A and B are shown apart, each in its own frame.
Chain A
Amino acid sequence: MNRELSAPGQGRHWLSYPKFLVRSLAVATDGPFAFYAWMTVLTAVALVGANAWANQVTQGMITTGMTDHVSWGLYIANFTFMVGVAAGGVMMVIPAYLYHDETMHDVVILGELLAISAIIMCLLFVTVDLGRPDRFWHLIPGVGKFNFPVSMLTWDVIVLNVYLLLNLHVCGYLLYMKFLGQAPSPRWYVPFVLLSIVWAISIHTVTAFLYCGLGGRPLWNSALLAPRFLASAFVSGPAFIILTMLALRKFAGLSLPSGPIRTLVRIIRIVILINLLMLVSEIFTEFYAGGAHTASARYLFLGLHGFHGLVPWMWTAVCANLLAAFLFLHHSVLRSSLVLVAACVFAFVGIWIEKGMGLIIPGFIPSALHEIVEYSPSLIEWKVSAGIWAFGLMVFTIALKIALPVLAGRTEDLLPAASGPAQETGRVGS
């Protein structure tokens, strides 16, 4: 590798960087009819969500299904899950950078782009959950009154934003270097990639600490929560990446190597069992020890005093997770993409429920005074959540569009017409 900084002089950067952005935008917005149709649908859903949110802010959160008893709902459930998806991308980074898996290295940018989109979704899910989004500036360190380090939420604000910046920097730098037609300098991204590995663990650990630090909520108040979060994240993240790669193969006609998929499946095979093991030990402790602290778990799995709003959700999650584990462990998962897709979808859905509706909601049921008030999301909540998902997918699609030429080895797409020679390798970084 070139030991000198390969970036050109400062004077040229502020000219070429805007050009790079414009070029990226052009690449990102060019595509076949199917692409425009996809983006149109996502835009429409996102707009429905934006409208629902505007109504929620104006009329008050009375429009949601939340109450003083169940004061967090679908938004925080989705937030928790998406932090996991963001952290899950690191399961590509670790093989690529720590174990020097060359084929993984070629596609690792997928995981980083997924992290970016997922973190943006996380930030949006937190924002729509605020009763006073107009006072968002109170959260800005230095400007507002940032209750750091006492409030775990401030830790979460920090780790999520830094993780976003880390991934934006790494992806942006590598693509920019492709645009310039230069070899990226490891100094400029490898330390950040290594930091992002630690950071990925931290975002989900801190998110778990949000809940498990609350003594008044027995269901959450478990030291196992952070490890469980990480384990489920390292299933849901890779599962989504596998689905993305399969979709890119099928719809974008990319010939992606199957090595990374095999590696991810091998990772999922182990982690999904660890996740189930931890779920089982959590359930055992809750039920065998018994007492009043079991009430939430009892409500979640069996129903309590005639209320069982979450029982179908949770058993769906358990079944989906077991089915996913079975499919992933079965040898056919590596031969049949249908089985693989099914395994990934089951794992994704199972964990979405397990960490969202199956964890956040029952933490509030029964309430602190042991009253049972059930929760089901209102239409507005579904609309806003769907809107954020659509927006996240839009971000992910656009990011992929910019990175696609790199993945496909067609880096010339990114190059300005008159710029330097195209790279002979399709690999991002090395």
Chain B
Amino acid sequence: MSETSGPTGGPGDRRPGAAGPTDPSRRNALKGLGATLGAAAFVTAISPLRNLARTTSPEELMQKHYKELDSEEKRAILRRLEEETKLEYGAEARIRDHAAIPGTKFAYAINLSLCNGNGKCVEACHKENNHDRATNQSYIRVLEMPIGTMDMGRGNTTYDHDVPAKGKFYMPVQCQQCDEPPCTDVCPVQATWKEDDGIVVVDYNWCIGCRYCEAACPYHARRFNWRKPEVPAEEVNPEQGLLSNRIRPQGVVEKCHFCLHRTREGRLPACLEACSTGARVFGNILDPESEIRWILENKRVFVLKEELGTKPSFFYFFDK
């Protein structure tokens, strides 16, 4: 047998047809034909990827990690994202990069005696953060729980009756902004991390979409973009942050970021403003005069799943 001119690889190394002829050159020619056919079939099979290649710019593909960007590069990225928002959603957006305020560590508390489960916070989050409209996506889930237990197994998020129902209390759950976040540890590419003000953020342009963080989070705080979010142009919230509510790409993980595009400007998060019961308290835990400090010092607060040692910055308490 000759060792010259073997087939040139490819997974389609096969020869269609009947019993093998003994002539080596003919055999090699048939092998080559098989390989060519296989390669062509492979190219056809993965041709849907061409659509994706059209919508993904080289700049986006080669974009560096957030922490490695200088201000010039960040500016270029913000402009590019604004253009993309215009192009793909038909909406004018002002995307900015908000840095943590020095001397700030955010914390949140919810008074479960006040919360009546009306879902206003869920809706406000949905609108504020440009969530996918079709799925009513939101970073907050509200559990309706029977009074007398803290067993989430007896809770229900899909309740659809007038609230508050007799014998029930309501417990909104969102990202607990843990001081020991299991989600950031597991990320293989450091696409998610805890910032100086305690907010756990995601670099939507760095996440590879392995969803390990989603498996690691004990609070169901993370969401994956199973498809490209759909938001009508007139409903897009134009005030956007690079690490927060700008419209996320398909295939990456996102999460509650305490509305950092608001809170890092001193404003209250959208869920708090929407709360009509006043159950939500937000503030800077390092400021001894802050409301949140008063809560922690004067109410018997608790955290969810304390036994896991995640040290949440999100507290719950009852008045009565």
Interface residues of A (CB under 8 A from B): 19, 22-23, 25-26, 28-33, 36, 39-40, 43, 46-48, 50-51, 53-55, 57-62, 64, 66-69, 71-72, 126, 129-136, 138-139, 144-147, 150-154, 157, 210, 213-217, 292, 295, 363-364, 366-371, 391, 394, 398, 416-417
Q: If the complex has contacts A147-B187, A151-B186, A216-B182, are A369 and B14 also in contact, measured as CB distance less than 8 A?
A: no
Q: If the complex has contacts A28-B13, A29-B31, are A47 and B208 also in contact, measured as CB distance less than 8 A?
A: no
Min CB–CB distance B306 → chain A (angstroms): 11
Which B-chain residue is minimally distant from A21 (CB atoms)? B6
Q: If the complex has contacts A72-B211, A398-B13, are A135 and B206 also in contact, measured as CB distance less than 8 A?
A: yes
CB of B207 within 8 Å of the partner chain: yes
Task: Give the interface segment out of B80-88, B107-115, B149-157, B265-273.
Answer: B149-157
**Which residues of the other chain, B, contact A54 by a CB distance below 8 angstroms?**
45-49
CB <8 Å contact, B227 and A132: no
CB of B190 within 8 Å of the partner chain: yes
What CA separation (Å) do A292 and B191 show in the bound complex? 32
**Which residues of the other chain, A, contact B222 by a CB distance below 8 angstroms?**
68
- State which size class the interface on B falls in: 35 or more
Which A-chain residue is minimally distant from B211 (CB atoms)? A71
18 contacts between A and B (CB under 8 A): A25-B6, A36-B15, A36-B20, A51-B48, A54-B47, A60-B251, A61-B209, A61-B251, A68-B220, A129-B210, A130-B209, A138-B208, A147-B187, A215-B218, A216-B218, A217-B218, A292-B151, A369-B155
**Which residues of the other chain, A, contact B147 by a CB distance below 8 angstroms?**
none
CB <8 Å contact, A33 and B190: no
CB <8 Å contact, B3 and A214: no
CB <8 Å contact, A40 and B14: yes
Interface set, chain B 174-203, CB cutoff 8 A to A: 182, 185-191
Min CB–CB distance A56 → chain B (angstroms): 9
CB <8 Å contact, B252 and A132: yes
Interface set, chain B 265-320, CB cutoff 8 A to A: 305, 308-310
CB of B11 within 8 Å of the partner chain: yes
CB <8 Å contact, B7 and A29: yes
Min CB–CB distance A65 → chain B (angstroms): 11
CB <8 Å contact, A214 and B216: yes
Interface set, chain B 115-146, CB cutoff 8 A to A: 141, 143
**Which residues of the other chain, B, contact A126 by a CB distance below 8 angstroms?**
210
CB <8 Å contact, B3 and A153: no
CB <8 Å contact, B224 and A50: no
What CA separation (Å) do A16 and B216 show in the bound complex? 50
What CA separation (Å) do A394 and B10 show in the bound complex? 11
Interface residues of B (CB under 8 A from A): 1, 3, 6-7, 9, 11-20, 27, 31, 38, 41-42, 44-49, 51-52, 56, 61, 65, 141, 143, 151-153, 155, 157, 173, 182, 185-191, 206-212, 214-220, 222-228, 249-253, 305, 308-310
CB <8 Å contact, B216 and A50: no
CB <8 Å contact, B208 and A131: yes
**Known A30-B1, A68-B226; further 18 A-B contacts with Cβ < 8 A:** A36-B16, A36-B17, A47-B45, A50-B45, A54-B49, A71-B224, A129-B210, A130-B209, A131-B250, A136-B208, A139-B208, A213-B186, A214-B186, A216-B218, A216-B219, A217-B218, A292-B152, A369-B219
Q: If the complex has contacts A68-B222, A71-B224, are A33 and B11 also in contact, measured as CB distance less than 8 A?
A: no
**Which residues of the other chain, B, contact A53 by a CB distance below 8 angstroms?**
46
CB <8 Å contact, B52 and A58: yes
What CA separation (Å) do A251 and B293 show in the bound complex? 76
**Which residues of the other chain, A, contact B65 by a CB distance below 8 angstroms?**
138, 145
CB <8 Å contact, B217 and A132: no
CB <8 Å contact, B305 and A216: yes
Which A-chain residue is minimally distant from B46 (CB atoms)? A54
**Which residues of the other chain, B, contact A398 by a CB distance below 8 angstroms?**
13
**Which residues of the other chain, A, contact B42 by a CB distance below 8 angstroms?**
47, 50
What CA separation (Å) do A50 and B223 show in the bound complex? 27
Which A-chain residue is minimally distant from B307 (CB atoms)? A215
CB <8 Å contact, B157 and A19: no
Among A29, A33, A46, the one with the most B-chain Cβ atoms within 10 Å of its Cβ is A29
What CA separation (Å) do A389 and B253 show in the bound complex? 28
**Which residues of the other chain, B, contact A214 by a CB distance below 8 angstroms?**
182, 186, 215-216
Q: If the complex has contacts A71-B214, A131-B208, A134-B61, are A371 and B157 also in contact, measured as CB distance less than 8 A?
A: yes
**Which residues of the other chain, A, contact B48 by a CB distance below 8 angstroms?**
51, 54-55, 57-58
